[in-house]
Structure 1
Amino acid sequence: MAVRLEFLNLLIPIHRIEEIYPDGWSGCLRDHAKSIGRTFWHDPMLVRAGGLMDSDLIDSLIQKWTRLGFIATEVVEGQTFWQDICLVDSFGFSKHQCSWLVVGGSERIAWLRGTERGEVFGREQFK
Structure 2
Amino acid sequence: MSIQLEFINFIVPRKVIEEKYPGGWSRCLDDHENLIGGRVWYDDHLFRDGAMNPEDIGSLVEEWGRLGLHTHDPENGEPSRWVDVCVVEAAFGGATIPCDWLETDGSVAFHKSFPAGELIGRRNFCG
- TM superposition score normalised by structure 2: 0.90
* Stretch moving more, 28-37 or 55-64: 55-64
AA at the equivalent of 2:20:
I
For 2:57 and 2:33, the matched residues in 1 are separated by 21
RMSD (CA atoms): 1.9
SS of the counterpart of 1:33? coil
Structure 2 runs not aligned, ≥5 long: none
1:4 aligns with 2:1: no
- TM superposition score normalised by structure 1: 0.90
Q: Which runs of 4+ in 1 moved over 3 A?
A: none
Q: Is the 8 A contact 2:74 2:80 kept in 1?
A: yes
Q: Is the 8 A contact 2:81 2:97 kept in 1?
A: yes
After superposition, where does 1:1-127 map in structure 2 within 5 Å?
Answer: 1-48=1-48, 50-75=49-74, 80-91=80-91, 92-105=93-106, 108-126=107-125
Deviation (angstroms), 1:72: 1.1
SS of the counterpart of 2:116? coil
Identity %: 39
Alignment coverage as a number of residue pairs? 124
Structure 1 runs not aligned, ≥5 long: none
